[in-house]
Amino acid sequence: MATGVELPVEGRLASFSGASGWLNSPPLTSEELRGKVVLVDFWTYTCINWLRTLAWVRAWSDRYGDQGLVVVGVHTPEFPFERNADNVTRAVAEMDVRYPVALDPDYAVWDAFANRYWPAAYIADTEGQIRHHHFGEGAYDEQERAIQSLLGVDGELVSVEPGGFEVQADWANLDSPETYLGSEQGVNRAPPGDLSLNQWSLEGDWSEEPRAAVLESGEGRLSFRFHARDAHLVMGPRERGVEVPFRVLVDGEAPGDAHGDDVDADGRGTMSEQRLHQLIRQPDPIEDRTLELDFLAPVEAYCFTFG
Sequential DSSP letters for 229-247: SEEEEEEEESSTT--EEEE
Q: What is residue 1's predicted lDDT score, i.e. its pLDDT?
A: 44
∠ Cα 27 32 34 (to 5°): 140
Residues 41-57: tens digit of each pLDDT: 999 999 999 999 999 99
Task: Assess contact for 284 and 258: CB atoms under 8 A.
Answer: no
Distances (CA, A) of 107 to 51, 92, 111, 297: 20, 19, 6, 33
Residues β-bridged to residue 100: none
pLDDT of residue 294: 98
DSSP state, residue 193: S
Angstrom distance (rounded) from CA 84 to CA 90: 10
> Judging by DSSP bridges, how do beta strands 101-103 and 69-75 pair with one another?
parallel
CA nearest neighbour of 102 among 76, 74, 124, 63: 74
Interhelix angle for 54-64 vs 140-151, to 10°? 20
Among 1, 40, 63, smallest CA distance to 134 is for 40
Q: Please list the pLDDT of the chain residue by residue as tens digits (307 residues).
A: 455 578 999 999 999 999 999 999 999 999 999 999 999 999 999 999 999 999 999 999 999 999 999 999 999 999 999 999 999 999 999 999 999 999 999 999 999 999 999 999 999 999 999 999 999 999 999 999 999 999 999 999 999 999 999 999 999 999 999 999 999 999 999 999 989 999 999 999 999 999 999 999 999 999 999 999 999 999 999 988 899 999 999 999 999 999 999 999 999 999 999 999 999 999 999 999 999 999 999 999 999 999 9
Contact 269, 188 (CB under 8 A): no
101 in Cβ contact with 92 (< 8 Å): yes
Q: Where are the alpha helices (DSSP H) in the chain?
A: 48-51, 54-64, 85-94, 108-112, 140-151
In terms of phi and psi (left: phi > 0; alpha: psi -120 to 50; beta: otherwise), the region of 7 is beta
